[in-house]
Structure 1
Amino acid sequence: MSTTDPDALLGPADIRELAAALGVRPTKQRGQNFVIDANTVRRIVRTAEVKPDDVVVEIGPGLGSLTLGLLEAADRVVAVEIDDVLAGALPATVAARLPDRASRFSLVHSDAMHVQELPGPPPTALVANLPYNVAVPVLLHMLDRFPSIERTLVMVQAEVADRLAAGPGNKVYGVPSVKANWYSEVKRAGSIGRNVFWPAPNVDSGLVSLVRRTSPVATTASRAEVFAVVDAAFAQRRKTLRAALAGWAGSPAAAEAALVAAGVSPQARGESLTVEEFARIAEAKK
């Protein structure tokens, strides 16, 4: 991996100057908190283990702080940006700061939730500072739509990071935990303080690493069928699975039959089950 030219990365003054020139004011509506610390960018790229042959997709590049660090380390970077002004300005920022790498950068001006294809070779990695308000749905959409993504490192609100990385029995284990684990092995990969952002958020952030499973969860049930069980189980997480899955199965008795067939106690609760057990329940109802 090559070493990023420190002059290429954006510092606090660069960020504010760019924002002022564009008339940009970060909005809570889009969860915009721009990274202003070059060392944090280097740490993210290093933690993501970006390789020289990687094709990295970045969601919400903003003014380009992380984009530049990724572009120096990867073969190609595709950034997906919804904001009209930011999307219009980013190619020029890349060309000015990393002219030798600009041809390896592509921009997709779109809502990440609507992205169905990306230009160039299939992405091998996803690295992003995800907007807090849409982090989980965007992450799950990208993992589902682009199976070529082998490694993911996302920066999200610390509470969301804890939920994504939680295992069965953890009090914050829930829908995001199970669904992320359907695709990947998930773990916490560090914490990020508030002072590396502009504006500084009122919560801490966390890094989450997701490594694509080498083989998918062994089940004849589809992803949609398994996720339907997960959603039902956690919609009433304080209830036993016999009760929580009654609507999904058609009746409490039908739920119990599916649970018993799957080898899961009807008295258990969703927070104690692995993704493999949810898959067995989905199979048992078929």
Structure 2
Amino acid sequence: MDDKKLYSPRVMKYILDKYGFKFSKSLGQNFLIDGNIINKIAETAELDENSGVLEIGPGFGTLTQILCGKAKKVVAVEVDKSLIEVHKETLNFDNLKIIYDDFMKVDVNKLIEEEFKGLDVKIVANLPYYITTPIIMKILEEGYKVSKIVVMVQKEVAQRLNSKPGSKEYGAITLAVQYRADTNIAIIVPNTVFMPRPKVDSAVIEFNILNAPKIKVNDEKLMFDIIKASFGQRRKTLLNGLSNNLKIPKETVKTALENSNIDPGIRGENLGLEEFGKISDEISKILDNGRNI
């Protein structure tokens, strides 16, 4: 089957009907049927003979087929075991391994170490909308040895991940992502290029993973607690939001903000990563001094 274009709606329908496959709404299954978009995703990933690709949720295999033609090795993780027989017909590639498991339960660091020795590893996927954020946060927080992530997500989510301070899309997840990667929206993808057609448009976003976090802080967990607290009630001032949500005395927060040259009346949505880092280090310093008294 590797000589046929799997993204052809005719080919896809024929094979799915042959195996009695039914799309699962609960798994967010929407298969890509546009060759131009699929090739653009692969181009964005910048694959060559030194590349190893970890694909999350190959689905019918339209993207997988192209990835196998460009990378040295592809390992795909698929949760839907009803696709096993479909894959036997559609994905006969010597450089492909498919693991039928829930990506959220996979020890990905171990998988990368065992499967991609000596390769430049990249994660490429058309992610189901319902689990996009948990997957992205798992990838970033567990610190996989990957150089790039290229994923298709809901357009609104891509805009949130790539947003700037002061915009309505900007939030805690934006900062969590931008702490560890540089982001770029590569393509806007209309809903018409999927089978079945979702209600909303998508976007392909790339994450170029940094060798080290963008800023250095004394207490990473505290910084993200501060970020979450400042976005917990977006309309509150930073002073009120942090003192209420973190259960830290208002005077401590006020002193930390003053020491960081940040207006206590500003809202968290107007601050960048470096400013949150300064606040975190100041609060950490004050709390440590208090413990040492």
- Report the AA paired with residue 29 of structure 2: Q
Q: Which residue of 2 aligns with 1:99?
A: none
Q: Which residue of 1 aligns with 2:289?
A: none
Match of 1:113 among 96, 99, 104: 104
User: What CA distance in whole angstroms lies between the structure 2 residues aligned with 1:249 and 1:52?
Assistant: 53
Q: Is the 8 A contact 2:218 2:281 kept in 1?
A: yes
Match of 1:34 among 14, 31, 34: 31
Return the offset for 1:89: 4.1
Return the offset for 1:167: 1.1
Q: Which residue of 1 aligns with 2:274?
A: 276
- Report the AA paired with residue 224 of structure 2: F
Unaligned runs of 5+ in 2: 285-293
Return the offset for 1:10: 3.3
User: What CA distance in whole angstroms lies between the structure 1 residues aligned with 2:144 and 2:259?
Assistant: 31
- Report the AA paired with residue 120 of structure 1: E
| Cα separation, partners in 2 of 1:237 and 1:77, compared to 1, 3 Å | same
Question: If the length of structure 2 is used for normalisation, what is the TM-score?
Answer: 0.86
Match of 2:134 among 132, 137, 142: 137
Return the offset for 1:12: 0.8
Return the offset for 1:176: 2.1
Question: If the length of structure 1 is used for normalisation, what is the TM-score?
Answer: 0.88
User: What CA distance in whole angstroms lies between the structure 2 residues aligned with 1:143 and 1:31?
Assistant: 22
Q: Which residue of 1 aligns with 2:204?
A: 207
User: What CA distance in whole angstroms lies between the structure 2 residues aligned with 1:6 and 1:265?
Assistant: 62
Aligned identity (percent) is: 33
Return the offset for 1:146: 4.1
Unaligned runs of 5+ in 1: 96-101
User: What CA distance in whole angstroms lies between the structure 1 residues aligned with 2:163 and 2:219?
Assistant: 23
- Report the AA paired with residue 162 of structure 2: A
Give matches, 1:187-266, under 5 Å.
187-246=184-243, 247-266=245-264
Return the offset for 1:231: 1.4
Match of 1:62 among 45, 59, 83: 59
- Report the AA paired with residue 95 of structure 2: R
Q: Is the 8 A contact 2:191 2:200 kept in 1?
A: yes
User: What CA distance in whole angstroms lies between the structure 1 residues aligned with 2:90 and 2:6?
Assistant: 10
Return the offset for 1:85: 1.3
User: What CA distance in whole angstroms lies between the structure 1 residues aligned with 2:276 and 2:94?
Assistant: 45
Return the offset for 1:224: 3.0
Q: Where in structure 1 do 4 or more consecutive aligned residues deviate above 6 Å?
A: none
CA RMSD of aligned residues (A): 2.1
- SS at structure 2 position matched to 1:124: strand
User: What CA distance in whole angstroms lies between the structure 2 residues aligned with 1:150 and 1:208?
Assistant: 14
Larger Rg: 2
Match of 2:40 among 38, 43, 58: 43
| Cα separation, partners in 2 of 1:51 and 1:228, compared to 1, 3 Å | farther
Q: Deviations over 1:148-178 (max 9, x none)?
A: 2111111111111111110112221112211
- Report the AA paired with residue 16 of structure 1: K
User: What CA distance in whole angstroms lies between the structure 2 residues aligned with 1:209 and 1:201?
Assistant: 22
| Cα separation, partners in 2 of 1:221 and 1:111, compared to 1, 3 Å | farther
Give matches, 1:3-22, under 5 Å.
7-22=4-19
Q: Deviations over 1:24-81 (max 9, x none)?
A: 2222222111112222211211122222211111111111111111111111111111
- Report the AA paired with residue 32 of structure 2: V
Paired residues, number: 276
Do residues 161 (structure 1) and 162 (structure 2) align? no
- Report the AA paired with residue 255 of structure 2: A
| Cα separation, partners in 2 of 1:182 and 1:189, compared to 1, 3 Å | same
Return the offset for 1:222: 4.3
Q: Is the 8 A contact 1:22 1:85 kept in 2?
A: no
User: What CA distance in whole angstroms lies between the structure 2 residues aligned with 1:209 and 1:156?
Assistant: 11
- Report the AA paired with residue 261 of structure 1: N
Q: Which residue of 2 aligns with 1:93?
A: 90
Return the offset for 1:87: 4.9
Return the offset for 1:133: 1.3
- SS at structure 2 position matched to 1:268: coil
Q: Is the 8 A contact 1:234 1:270 kept in 2?
A: yes
Q: Is the 8 A contact 1:18 1:63 kept in 2?
A: no
Q: Is the 8 A contact 1:9 1:69 kept in 2?
A: no
Q: Is the 8 A contact 2:15 2:86 kept in 1?
A: no
- Report the AA paired with residue 104 of structure 1: N
